[in-house]
Chain A
Amino acid sequence: MSQTFLGMPSLPVHGEGNIHATEPFPAAARRELGNAQLRANLGHATRTIRDKRLKVVAELPDWEQLREAGSTIKQNVMARLPELLEQFEENFTARGGTIHWARDAAEANATVAALVREQGVDEVVKVKSMATQEIGLNEYLEEQGIAAFETDLAELIVQLDHDKPSHILVPAIHKNRTEVRDIFLREMPGVDPALTDDPARLADAARTHLRRKFLTAKVAVSGANFALADSGTLAVVESEGNGRMCLTLPETLITVMGIEKLLPAWQDLEVFMQLLPRSSTGERMNPYTSLWTGVAEGDGPRNVHLVLLDNGRSAALADEMGRSALHCIRCSACMNVCPVYERTGGHAYGSTYPGPIGAILSPLLTGIESEDNSTLPYASSLCGACYDACPVKINIPDILVHLRGQDVDSKRGKGKLPSQMDAAMQAASWALSSGRRLGLAEKALPLGRLAAGPDRKITSLPGIAAGWTQSRDIPAPPAESFRAWWRREHGKESGHGQGPGHPTGQGPAEGKP
């Protein structure tokens, strides 16, 4: 088989679907920040989950060893992906499952719709799945006259409200209990008009609403959290039992999964089933995990399908610096700790994947040239909280910086990067590469003081530098540079620019001594 691939084009093929931001992040963030209710809801929810996560993570003496295991297993998977995909396919097929490969969102959608039609039905029940969000499956099925019923409580809330998810684990995190009650009262057929905003009552209303659907559905659509190459086993991790309903009761099960979700072997599950629940819902273990291997005689669906989705993953894999973003297990810990996400919420990121992981994953899947996604790597203060929280140790800040570099490079020469920026960078490079030149540049400091005026603040810079002063003032520069001060104070005894206590060639790194 491998001969077939000789001479394959090596240009990465990027993904499509709901992974493109539809406006630049700063504009979207500005709008979302105006919503005080949203900020209050998010602040409450992310604080709750952060505390829970810290508590259950602290319980495990071997947490760091588990993270290291998770990271090395995923590196191993990415390096061996072609071989593992073929191994998985062979095992899944041998157990009675059918595999469909999908190059992009459109191909995956068309495959699912054809499989649904084959069963002669016009509705499906769905388990929450990021992959189907990413490809816009529900919208596509609706166009095709097939109704998709979301069964996860938060997805149901979002679907009933004709809204979009804003968090990968809790898509309705931006809604508080009263808003949820109002949505149910407005949109849920046959709901008890005396429904209160007690979360237990709301969960009960969802149970009643979906019970009949579960017991009569012929076709279910799911995602998958893990796929084990050595056995062809798929896993879905969930809480409510809606997953078990969809994976067990219908005759036909169609799963859509990204090609990066593989794990080499059964044993690897022992690592990820410890990392995922603690990182996502802050529980020692999620209430339900289902594992199935093809078709099981007398137990569960008779027709078991899997759509293996590329949609830009191979392009992300081709980026040596960025490929570890594919290690992501969709736990959402990074967004729960992110100071930017906590304030803007998930909608500001535009893509199915919000928060720090979305800020790297979306542009990696679409390519940095995708206009509005090029703003996502800047949606971060680079504080590093996401890296600390990530259960598989994805170095998100490093990849953000890498993608910023890609963005600048991609705009250079296309006339999109202001030539002033290039000129300024070249000037800085010239000045900073020699002490003598820096000294010359520093002679201009008094000019800055003049510009700052009596309040000693520079409030607007000219040209592209105006971006810097748009939301902050620059304090007036000091009357004298540090180097000039040092010469004046210590010039006599050091002679060669070396102060007492500092080894040869090394001045103080910061501040005044």
Chain B
Amino acid sequence: MNARDEILGRVRAALRDAPAAPEPARAYRRTSGMTEEARIELLVDRLVDYKAQVWVVDPGQVAERIAELLAGTGECIVPAGFNPAWLPADSGETVPRMRTDAPEGPLTLAELDAAGAVLTASAAAVAQTGTIILDGSPGQGRRAISLVPDRHICVVEAAHIAELLPEALARLDGTRPITMISGPSATSDIELERVEGVHGPRNLEVVVVRSPVG
């Protein structure tokens, strides 16, 4: 008998007493009544606690903020589909070269490794845990680009911020390649004390964009 059938047979035999399969008890919090302002405030607090740098801006200020963040940086990777209104205007000198990573022309790992930063959008965020979620949609790119560069600048739209994890996960398609990011890379492996910065980006900079007024 092959391994599959044998294992399934063993498992069925183990359950001969036909144990009950209770319905999951979902009495925990699944919805929140928090205002956008409160969600932004909570997210910022949690991100800062994890040593991320955070800026909260109005929709019209994103490009300017990103230009300031990128000043002096070498090359910056940007995925295809990134909102062009958020890209810094090319003034020629202070703004670094933006290199687009697109499905039809992916950059090599060496190119990603040599870049000074990567700039992406995000699919959702969880205020309560300080978590930003990327799902590879246009503007977020494939997983490697937000991993290999040492600096990740991530734009989070206020409308995408949920207070609770269940609210955020409900908005996502779980079959997409998903990365949940809570602060920069870290470890607690030496004496269980948290140290930021191991293999993932050691710098996480988050630009939170308020929803347009009215």
B188 and A315 contacting across the interface, CB-CB below 8 Å? no
- Report if B7 contacts A (CB, 8 A): yes
A72/B3 in contact, CB under 8 A: no
Asked if B11 lies at the interface with its beta carbon under 8 angstroms from chain A, I say yes
With contacts A152-B189, A270-B165, A281-B188 known, is A317 near B14, CB below 8 A? yes
**Residues of A with C-beta under 8 A to B131:** 285
Give the interface size bracket for B toward A.
35 or more
A231 to B11, Cβ gap below 8 A?
no
Taken together as a complex, chains A and B put the C-alpha atoms of A8 and B187 apart, in Å, by 47
Q: Does the CB pair A284–B20 fall under 8 Å?
A: no
Are the CB atoms of A48 and B193 closer together than 8 Å?
yes
Chain B residues near A85 (CB-CB < 8 A): 8, 11
| A-contact bits for B112-138, CB 8 A (1 contact / 0 none) | 010000000000001011110000100
How far, in Å, is B117 (CB) from chain A's closest CB?
16
A10 CB within 8 Å of chain B: yes
| Alpha-carbon gap, A41 to B190, bound state (A) | 10
Residue B92, interface by CB 8 Å: no
- Docked-complex contact A231 and B174, CB < 8 angstroms: yes
Question: Residues of A contacting B174 with CB < 8 Å?
Answer: 228, 231, 233, 266, 269, 291, 293
Count of A interface residues, CB-CB < 8 Å: 110
A76-B21, A284-B182, A287-B181 as given contacts; A244 in contact with B188, CB under 8 Å: no
Contact B10 A12 (CB under 8 A): yes
Whether A310 and B10, one on each chain, are in contact in the complex, defined by CB atoms closer than 8 angstroms, is: yes
Interface residue? B213 (CB, 8 A): no
Within 8 A of B (CB), among A192-222: 199-200, 202-204, 206-207, 210-211, 214-215
- In the bound assembly, the distance between CA atoms of A176 and B192 in angstroms comes to 10
In B187-214, the 8 Å CB interface with A consists of 187-201
- Of A49, A151, A269, A271, which is within 8 A of B199 by CB? A151
Main secondary structure of the interface of B (DSSP, over half): loop
List A contacts of B110 (CB < 8 A).
215
A69 within 8 A of B: yes
Using a CB–CB cutoff of 8 Å, the interface residues on chain B facing chain A are 2-30, 46, 50, 103, 106, 109-110, 113, 126, 128-131, 136, 142-144, 147-148, 165-166, 169-170, 174-201
17 contacts between A and B (CB under 8 A): A75-B19, A80-B21, A82-B11, A101-B3, A153-B187, A153-B189, A215-B109, A233-B174, A240-B189, A245-B199, A249-B109, A270-B170, A288-B181, A290-B143, A290-B178, A300-B142, A317-B11
Q: Give residues in A with beta carbon < 8 Å to B.
A: 2, 4-5, 8-10, 12-13, 41, 44-46, 48-49, 52, 61-62, 65-66, 68-69, 72-73, 75-76, 78-82, 85-86, 95, 99-103, 107, 151-154, 157, 170, 172-173, 175-177, 180, 199-200, 202-204, 206-207, 210-211, 214-215, 228, 231-233, 239-242, 244-245, 247-249, 259, 266-271, 273-274, 277, 281, 283-293, 296-300, 308, 310, 314-315, 317-318, 320, 323
